[in-house]
Amino acid sequence: MVLPLAKLGTLALKTISKPIANRLKTEAGRHPEFRNLIISFAQSNHRVTTKIQRRLYGHATNVEIRPLNEEKAVQAATDLIGEVFVFLVGGAVVIFEVQRSARSEARKEAMRKVELEGMRQNDLELEKRVLVLEQGVAQLQKLSMERGLLPGAGSLLHSKMVTPEQPEPEKPSSTQA
């Protein structure tokens, strides 16, 4: 139940981030100080990308690069701001999902460790019980051998059998009547 709601929440957050990014873009173009800052950023970005493109295509890189006009620079910078905002929101959602998944796996692993430790404790307890039972059987066999109650009990000590072998009683013959 939690997983579908979390997925819907992250999808809604991504969807909401796009109009917020658009609002940031429009507000960024209105404030004069911020506008000057993003224009200089956009011009620098334009120069760098143009130089990279010229190098990739093998054109001369020592030519003068014409700056963008003010409106194009503002538009490029605000588009970049909007894309960065959407990217950051998406990245935050991915990080949240990974952390949530890691916590879930850690809980499962802790439960497995507890269960395994319980099994180990149970095995140790069973081993102790078996040892006590074997010692009891050995004592009983020793006592019965000392008192002569179990013929051949010495062989039972080594075979660890609990029940002694008893000879079958003789059947009365029908000819003795």
Chunked into runs of 10 residues, the chain (177 residues) has average pLDDT values of 65 74 72 85 90 85 84 84 82 87 94 96 96 94 83 52 51 53
User: What Å distances lie between residue 129 and 119, 132, 137, 158, 159, CA to CA?
Assistant: 15, 5, 12, 19, 19
Domain that holds residue 133: 127-159
Whether 57 and 85 map to the same domain: the answer is: yes
Q: What are phi and psi of 153, to 5 degrees?
A: -70, -20
Whether 22 and 80 map to the same domain: the answer is: yes
pLDDT score, position 175? 54
Query: 169 in a domain, yes or no?
Result: no
Whether 63 and 91 map to the same domain: the answer is: yes
H-only helix segments in the chain: 2-30, 32-57, 70-147, 153-159
Query: 164 in a domain, yes or no?
Result: no
Domain boundary among 59, 93, 115: 115
pLDDT score, position 177? 42
Say if CB 35 and CB 71 are below 8 A apart: no
Residue type, 14: K
Q: Is 58 left (phi over 0), alpha (psi -120 to 50) or beta?
A: left
Whether 42 and 97 map to the same domain: the answer is: yes
Query: 151 in a domain, yes or no?
Result: yes
Whether 41 and 109 map to the same domain: the answer is: yes
Whether 111 and 134 map to the same domain: the answer is: no
Whether 97 and 144 map to the same domain: the answer is: no
Whether 42 and 86 map to the same domain: the answer is: yes
Domain count, the chain: 2
Query: 148 in a domain, yes or no?
Result: yes
Whether 131 and 111 map to the same domain: the answer is: no
pLDDT score, position 170? 57
User: What Å distances lie between residue 165 and 40, 72, 152, 154, 170, CA to CA?
Assistant: 103, 105, 8, 12, 15
Say if CB 38 and CB 73 are below 8 A apart: yes
Whether 23 and 102 map to the same domain: the answer is: yes
Query: 165 in a domain, yes or no?
Result: no
Query: 14 in a domain, yes or no?
Result: yes
